[in-house]
Amino acid sequence: MELHTLKTETVDPGERGSLLGTRYGAQVRRAGALYLEHFALLGIPADRVRDIAERSHAALRAWAPGLAEESDACADAAGAERWTVAAVGARTEILAACRPDPEGECSTAVFAPAGRRPETMQTWDWHDSLVPDGLLHELTPRKGRTVKLFTEFGAAGKIGVNSAGLGVHFNILFHQDDSDAGGVPVHAIARHILDEADTLGQAVELASTAGVSASTSLTVVTAGAAASLELSPAGLAVVPAGEEGWLLHTNHFLDAGLGTGDVHSPESSTAERFAHLRAVRSDLPGLAPAQRAKALCGSPGPDAVICMRPDEGKPLHEQWGTLLTVGLDVAHCALDYVAGTPDEAARLGLTRF
């Protein structure tokens, strides 16, 4: 994955989207085409993709109109049909139209004890063939607010931090109530929290107003509190950090109530990755990002279960890899990242954005 960096200073969402689409039109169009191919391989025809994308986009426009305007302006400037860009933004909602993927994606570890600066790191696991390009975007949603985030071209947001000292990590979940109803895109919820929330309480309030059709965990981190917001059509659960300040998440529900409807694939490594995070967590506090990445791997090193590498014997859409390792510095509104596994981050070092 090649990472591109963009800084936009306008507070106007239409102008921001136009700047994005003008500069990265080829990447925006390519992302839409790759996802349409992916959905087709999963048995979701283009007309159904368009229907779900347009309903999700309408839900977004009703909930956060500025983000819908930004998406449309990006599509127009890139020379893409609006629904194809909306489909990337609503890719989790479209994927809810088929059975859960055998794997899942992402492992998150947050240490946020009272009175100490939070320390975080997560892997982002996905199909390399779908994301030849990723975006690091510094933006100004309103005067006095800076947001820095990583995302895919066409998606409003994913993992990031804002100048109020709040950060968001992202893990997909699967619930029996997920459907093709076309709810507010969960990627846009992550972005809207970064744009608007100063506190964990405000993040919870914003998330509670979004009607979703697909499930996801947004782990919200501030200097004073941290919690995983488990979103599902069945409801919203707030899973706080434990007494020692630890908050770990992979791809299954932690809330007991929502967990009764969990339908992650039995082939998924989510439980194994969660157990790995629990086993190494005591070695993580107080380390610089590269050292933390090394400790995250633990004694298995490059063979750690959280370091996903694609099985080249499988079709491209079934090949999983860790495409990004990223930590959030909420005190300094920064991301530390490498386009690769935690083992690669430990060896190569992380870049600050």
Q: Are residues 173 and 241 in the same domain?
A: yes
CB burial readout 272-298, b (16+ within 10 A) else e: ebbebbeebbeebeeeebbebbbbbbb
pLDDT at 243: 81
The verdict on residue 101 lying in a domain is no
**Could you give the count of Cα atoms lying within 13 Å of 107 in the half-sphere of its Cβ?**
28
Split at pLDDT 50, 70, 90, the class of 102 is low
- Averaged pLDDT, 86-94: 98
The verdict on residue 2 lying in a domain is no
Q: Are residues 180 and 305 in the same domain?
A: yes
Split at pLDDT 50, 70, 90, the class of 98 is confident
- CA 215 – CA 212 distance, rounded (Å): 7
- Averaged pLDDT, 238-250: 94
- Averaged pLDDT, 48-58: 98
pLDDT at 100: 66
The verdict on residue 120 lying in a domain is yes
Q: Are residues 71 and 168 in the same domain?
A: no
Q: Are residues 211 and 345 in the same domain?
A: yes
Q: Are residues 91 and 153 in the same domain?
A: no
CATH at residue 273:
3.60.60.10
Q: Are residues 189 and 272 in the same domain?
A: yes
- Digit-coded pLDDT (tens) for 130-180: 999 999 999 999 999 999 999 999 999 999 999 999 999 999 999 999 999
**Could you give the count of Cα atoms lying within 13 Å of 342 in the half-sphere of its Cβ?**
32
Q: Are residues 140 and 235 in the same domain?
A: yes
Q: Are residues 114 and 140 in the same domain?
A: yes
What domain range includes position 41?
7-95
Q: Are residues 186 and 282 in the same domain?
A: yes
Does residue 103 have a pLDDT over 90?
no
- In the chain, % of residues over pLDDT 70: 99
Report the C-alpha dihedral over residues 49, 136, 295, 122, rounded to 10 degrees. -30
- CA 284 – CA 343 distance, rounded (Å): 14
Strand partners, 159: 150
Q: Are residues 23 and 76 in the same domain?
A: yes
- Digit-coded pLDDT (tens) for 290-346: 999 999 999 999 999 999 998 888 887 788 899 999 999 999 999 999 999 999 999
- Averaged pLDDT, 249-273: 95
pLDDT at 184: 98
Structure tokens at 272: 């194994």
Q: Are residues 73 and 113 in the same domain?
A: no
Q: Are residues 203 and 339 in the same domain?
A: yes
Q: How many domains does the chain have?
A: 2
Q: How far is CA 298 from CA 121, 267, 324, 328, 332, in A?
A: 14, 23, 18, 20, 27
pLDDT at 314: 84
Indicate the average pLDDT of the chain.
96
CB burial readout 219-234, b (16+ within 10 A) else e: bbbbeebbbbbbbbbb
